[in-house]
Amino acid sequence: MAAVNTPQKEAQPIALPGLARALMSVGKLTQQSAEEVYKKSQASRASFIATLTAAGSITPAEVAHTVSSVFGAPLLDIDALDPLRISKELLDIKLCQAYGVVALSKRSNRLIVATADPTNQEAAEKIKFTTQMGVDWVIAEHDKLLRLIEATAKGGPESMDAIVSGGDFEFDDTSMEAAAEEEDAQTNEVEDAPIVKFLHKMLLDAFNMRASDLHFEPYEHHYRVRFRVDGELREIASPPIAIKEKLASRIKVISRLDISEKRVPQDGRMKLKVGPDRVIDFRVSTLPTLFGEKIVIRILDPSSAKLGIEALGYEPEEKERLLRAIGRPYGMILVTGPTGSGKTVSLYTCLNLLNKPGVNIATAEDPSEINLPGVNQVNVNERAGLTFATALKAFLRQDPDIIMVGEIRDLETADISIKAAQTGHLVLSTLHTNDAPTTLTRMRNMGIAPFNIASSVILITAQRLARRLCPNCKEPADIPHESLLDAGFSEEEIDGSWTPYRPVGCSACNNGYKGRVGIYEVMPITEDLQRIILADGSALEIAAQARLEGVRSLRQSGLHKVKTGMTSLEEVLGVTNE
């Protein structure tokens, strides 16, 4: 029987990686050499580019220049970057090492990533999945990129140690002594070293990002850290859930709180040195939750009280009204608004202007947020019996010129404050109301007689904080005429002489915004308003009279800042209600 010849299978073509095909397209590699390098890389389980450059037939610089030209991606000299300035928060260092990439910056919802191989789809998909952001490649030389990744991985913890131990960023002496005593008794210093470094890094990052608060939040299966930057909470880190107990203990030790008490909320403070001559206060609040203690740390920067009234965003006529009021010898000035609207900074800015050697200033707060030399500050302690009312009574026996009350919460505090304003003292305080006119009716509802309100209150300022548009990336917005009218602009104002802007987002800002600016309703109490108050008039009547006297509402004040290009229309609509 004749033998049957079976046809031989043709050799399957090798599926070369995208980088190999790109180099072949411009004549930098032949088909044969590309296949040989690919087989060698598969055998050694190394990347194609690492195997290619190790062979010496083409240099990393040649690969980078060719890839940049073929794919139209920018080429970056990676040696110009400082490893200590590479943020590890943008991309996990293990992922960077695995794929040979470095995250350089974030722009809106896209990540700028340096790579030597932009054809690596697996790396792109992994980065997208991990960060939930798009990827924009920047080309770098492979060998320089590996050195930067190694330096970043090694240099990060060392730089943090240097910051902590070198005096650039350290706890004040009293806090350190308390921490040392507690740690000797209750913690293992070696085991807690990563916790210490992590906390220091979070505090330093929050300060550098101009955050106002840090949130440490434990949940059943994960733990997250969020910063409030320009009024918005942003998730910064997701450390292992196992650190929650030690991290809470570390924060409580430094803040001089009871680390054994986990059933009730606690409040404390800590002080840190940032730089040779700058100290930042932190207010710490703990809250027992289902899965551990949530801790919120408020950053209290004393320098914010010394920015000057120009930096707060008052319009010229608003600033003039406020300065005229704080220049009077007696009376009551009220600052109103929700929590986090900048009331404390406004009050301390006024106190800083009034703080002269010949003036006696006393403040009662719960707690005192900003330390101001030359001002006698008292922390209210209701458990010990030191209430706002008790502190005020004591102040009046201390020969004061100016009194600041953190908040008027009850009739007794309001009554003493008004009497102080009527007997030759300038009183500054806050109330939680929506706008200036409703503040007067709120005081009436507290039980204060209309005569006492009319004869003591000289000015009320309501305020909100709106995010400033980033000057680098904001662009004109096309807003329909009807939408501008609905927002509160008049037909006369929509005359084409100004342009509204919208946020875009760039590497220098936070989703198109950078910093915040105040929106104010500054209402002096004139004789006409006093008559309405004495007649027990409503908030609507007070507001109508204030508009006749040229007082802008919060919405009108915000729209004015839209006209000047300082903020966006959607931001003003979000923070004001009309």
Give 408's contacts (C-beta < 8 A, 6+ positions apart). 334, 388, 414, 417, 429, 430, 431
Using CA atoms, how far apart are residues 503 and 243, in angstroms rounded to an integer? 38
pLDDT of residue 335 exceeding 90, the answer is yes
In DSSP terms, 114 is beta-bridged to 102, 138
Residue 130 Cα distances to 95, 96, 543, 566, angstroms: 9, 12, 52, 35
pLDDT of residue 403 exceeding 90, the answer is yes
pLDDT of residue 125 exceeding 70, the answer is yes
Please indicate whether residue 78 or residue 178 has the higher confidence score (pLDDT).
78
CB 71 within 8 A of CB 31: no
Q: Please tell me the least confidently modeled range out of 250-259, 297-306, 381-390, 408-417.
A: 297-306
* Per-residue confidence band for 540, with pLDDT thresholds at 50, 70 and 90: very high
Instruction: Fill in the DSSP letter of residue 136.
Output: E
* Per-residue confidence band for 529, with pLDDT thresholds at 50, 70 and 90: very high
CB 312 within 8 A of CB 349: yes
Residue boundaries of the structural domains of the chain: 22-159, 212-300, 305-465+517-552
The arithmetic mean of pLDDT across residues 462-470, rounded, is: 91
* Per-residue confidence band for 230, with pLDDT thresholds at 50, 70 and 90: confident
- For 91, the 3-state DSSP assignment is coil
pLDDT of residue 452 exceeding 80, the answer is yes
pLDDT of residue 165 exceeding 50, the answer is no
* Per-residue confidence band for 182, with pLDDT thresholds at 50, 70 and 90: very low
Residue 123 Cα distances to 42, 76, 120, 417, angstroms: 17, 19, 6, 64
**Percent of the chain clearing pLDDT 90 (strictly above):** 32
pLDDT of residue 110 exceeding 50, the answer is yes
pLDDT of residue 519 exceeding 90, the answer is yes
Q: What is the dihedral of CA 419, 370, 269, 279, to 10 degrees?
A: -160
CB 418 within 8 A of CB 392: no
For residue range 270-310, list pLDDT tens digits in order: 887 766 566 778 889 999 999 999 999 998 876 665 667 77
Q: Please tell me the least confidently modeled range out of 363-367, 450-454, 548-552.
A: 363-367
- For 64, the 3-state DSSP assignment is helix
pLDDT score, position 274 = 66
Using CA atoms, how far apart are residues 313 and 309, in angstroms rounded to an integer? 8
pLDDT score, position 427 = 95
Looking at domain 305-465+517-552, its CATH class is alpha beta
134-139 and 110-115 strand pairing: parallel
pLDDT score, position 294 = 96
pLDDT score, position 214 = 95
Instruction: Count CB atoms within 10 A of the CB of residue 513.
Output: 23
CATH homologous superfamily, domain 22-159: Type II secretion system, protein E, N-terminal domain (3.30.300.160)
The arithmetic mean of pLDDT across residues 216-232, rounded, is: 90
The mean pLDDT of the chain is 83
- Is there a shared CATH topology between the 22-159 domain and the 212-300 domain? no
Buried b (16+ CB within 10 A) or exposed e, 140-177: bbbbbbbebbeebbebbeebbeebbeeeebbbeeebee
pLDDT score, position 388 = 87
CB 241 within 8 A of CB 218: yes
* Per-residue confidence band for 198, with pLDDT thresholds at 50, 70 and 90: confident
**Percent of the chain clearing pLDDT 70 (strictly above):** 88
User: In the numeric block, which tokens belong to residue 415?
Assistant: 């009554």
Phi and psi at 576, nearest 5°, equal -120, 160
For residue range 52-79, list pLDDT tens digits in order: 887 777 888 888 888 888 888 888 877 7
Please indicate whether residue 182 or residue 371 has the higher confidence score (pLDDT).
371
* Per-residue confidence band for 473, with pLDDT thresholds at 50, 70 and 90: confident
Using CA atoms, how far apart are residues 217 and 473, in angstroms rounded to an integer? 33
CB 569 within 8 A of CB 487: yes
* Per-residue confidence band for 268, with pLDDT thresholds at 50, 70 and 90: confident
Residue with tokens 């006093």: 530
Looking at domain 212-300, its CATH class is alpha beta
